[in-house]
């Protein structure tokens, strides 16, 4: 380890003392480092994106698969932990507002949204549930939100699968996962999750746009998030169980996070039922966020949601596994970054 880390920036003695003896004080910045202001001036590109120099480009002897999650930067790649994600997805809410009505007050509107929609790692939502309430939400999905007055019928109609996977079984979810999910409904979380205010910039099919109530310069709200810590914990729980039950499968995989249980096995069925419960949770999470966004817009523009045209355009999963029928064959379909 010392050999690998030793460099002109970190010397051998520093590494040995840090690893073997521990360090009580805060590490000091090497005198050869540039200041943060200088670093920002040299590397900053725009909107928090930084540039870095390409040292070398080499061809790798690799013939496997690679996936890239789309962001607004064609060079961006990152590795996502595990394979199945429990309904990380996107929803878009329409308004009848035009950008010119919103832009002069954009900063104040964004601040108000931040105050009403919790975000960041470990953030807590606005809906604190008891365990039995959480299980009901995970079983019923968007039907639960409708019954609680947190959704309207059209919200369900404009969700993929009407916001409910009927294969869901909260009983297949661990107590630890339930504990993480009880206080996070209605929160964004961290990572690449967001609430964006968008403007319709260009219409490619006027007939389709008109049919769906879309027009040039229209303000839309996009929400991107998933099943928060609950879904992550479910995946972790089952992947570790799979590791123990199927050691032969694990040995054949290039990465332990690609662990899987054979289709039709009890463990695979349990995992799918738990994942479906987390998917229902994710729909409810995005719904409560949108419910609070609606309230912000109503107060901010001093008008009703109906008058402002605050309607769900659509909600779709982009990280999920579902049972679907294709060419007459029932199969599991995995979607990763597939909005």
Mean of the per-residue pLDDT values for the chain? Answer: 83
**Residue 318: per-residue pLDDT:** 86
Examine residue 100 and state whether it is found in any structural domain, yes or no. Answer: yes
One domain, residues 169 and 287: yes
Q: Are 272 and 235 in contact (CB under 8 A)?
A: no
Owning domain of residue 94: 88-336
Q: 106-116 vs 266-300: helix axis angle to the nearest 10?
A: 130
Tell me the two tokens of residue 336: 């990763």
**Overall average pLDDT of the 229-246 stretch:** 90
69 CB-side CA count, 13 A: 16
One domain, residues 156 and 220: yes
One domain, residues 175 and 26: no
One domain, residues 103 and 30: no
Tell me the two tokens of residue 116: 């009403």
Examine residue 57 and state whether it is found in any structural domain, yes or no. Answer: no
Each residue's pLDDT tens digit, 15-49? 666 666 655 555 566 666 677 677 667 765 554 55
| pTM reported for the whole predicted model | 0.73
281-300 burial, b for 16+ CB within 10 Å, e for fewer?
Answer: bbbbbbbbbbbbbbebbbee
One domain, residues 323 and 179: yes
**Of the candidate ranges 1-10, 118-127, 239-248, the one whose mean pLDDT is the lowest:** 1-10
One domain, residues 27 and 118: no
One domain, residues 46 and 151: no
**Residue 160: per-residue pLDDT:** 94
Q: What is the rounded distance in angstroms from the CA atom of residue 311 to the CA atom of residue 186?
A: 18
Q: What is the rounded distance in angstroms from the CA atom of residue 98 to the CA atom of residue 151?
A: 25
Examine residue 82 and state whether it is found in any structural domain, yes or no. Answer: no
DSSP letters, 257-304, are GG----TTSHHHHHHHHHHHHHHHHHHHHHHHHHHHHHHHHHHHTTS-
One domain, residues 35 and 120: no
One domain, residues 36 and 121: no
**Of the candidate ranges 78-82, 163-167, 294-298, the one whose mean pLDDT is the lowest:** 78-82
Q: What is the rounded distance in angstroms from the CA atom of residue 308 to the CA atom of residue 97?
A: 7
Give the pairing type, strands 49-50 and 311-326.
Answer: unpaired
Examine residue 124 and state whether it is found in any structural domain, yes or no. Answer: yes
Each residue's pLDDT tens digit, 174-194? 999 999 999 889 888 777 788
Examine residue 205 and state whether it is found in any structural domain, yes or no. Answer: yes
Q: Are 317 and 142 in contact (CB under 8 A)?
A: no
Examine residue 332 and state whether it is found in any structural domain, yes or no. Answer: yes
Examine residue 79 and state whether it is found in any structural domain, yes or no. Answer: no
One domain, residues 39 and 145: no
One domain, residues 41 and 93: no
User: Ranked by mean pLDDT, which of 160-164, 233-237, 321-325 comes out on top?
Assistant: 160-164
What percent of the chain has pLDDT above 90?
50
> Residue 220's domain is classified under what CATH number?
3.90.1860.10
Q: What angle do CA 175, 180, 185 make, to 5 degrees?
A: 125
Q: Which residues contact 233 (CB under 8 A, 6 or more apart)?
A: 174, 176, 177, 180, 181
Is 253's pLDDT higher than 90? no
One domain, residues 324 and 208: yes
Examine residue 323 and state whether it is found in any structural domain, yes or no. Answer: yes
**Residue 82: per-residue pLDDT:** 43
**Residue 10: per-residue pLDDT:** 64
> How many structural domains is the chain composed of?
2
């Amino acid at each position: 380890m010392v050999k690998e880390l030793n460099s002109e920036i970190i010397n051998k003695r520093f590494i040995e003392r840090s690893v073997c003896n521990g360090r009580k004080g805060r590490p000091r910045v090497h005198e050869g480092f540039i200041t943060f202001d200088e670093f920002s001036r040299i590397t900053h590109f725009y909107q928090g994106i930084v540039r870095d120099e390409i040292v070398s480009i080499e061809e790798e002897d690799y013939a496997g698969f690679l996936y890239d999650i789309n962001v607004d930067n064609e060079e961006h790649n990152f590795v996502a932990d595990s394979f199945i994600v429990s309904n990380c997805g996107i929803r878009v809410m329409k308004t009848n507002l035009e950008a010119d009505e919103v832009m002069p007050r954009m900063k104040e509107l964004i601040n108000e949204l931040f105050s009403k929609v919790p975000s960041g790692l470990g953030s807590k939502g606005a809906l604190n549930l008891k365990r039995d309430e959480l299980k009901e939400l995970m079983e019923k999905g968007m039907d639960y939100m409708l019954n609680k007055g947190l959704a309207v019928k059209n919200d369900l109609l404009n969700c993929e699968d009407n916001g409910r996977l009927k294969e869901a079984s909260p009983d297949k979810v661990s107590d630890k996962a339930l504990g993480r999910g009880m206080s996070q409904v209605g929160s964004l979380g961290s990572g690449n999750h967001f609430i964006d205010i968008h403007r319709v910039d260009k219409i490619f099919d006027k007939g389709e746009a008109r049919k769906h109530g879309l027009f040039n310069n229209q303000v839309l709200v996009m929400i991107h998030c998933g099943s928060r810590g609950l879904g992550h914990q479910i995946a972790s729980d089952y992947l570790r169980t799979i590791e123990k039950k199927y050691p032969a499968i694990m040995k054949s995989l290039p990465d332990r996070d690609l662990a899987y249980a054979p289709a039709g096995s009890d463990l695979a069925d349990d995992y799918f039922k738990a994942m479906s419960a987390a998917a229902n949770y994710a729909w409810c999470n995005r719904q409560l966020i949108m419910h609070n966004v609606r309230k912000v817009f109503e107060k901010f523009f001093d008008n009703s949601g109906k008058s402002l045209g605050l309607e769900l355009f659509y909600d779709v999963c982009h990280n999920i596994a579902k049972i679907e029928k294709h060419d007459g064959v029932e199969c599991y379909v995995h979607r990763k970054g597939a909005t």
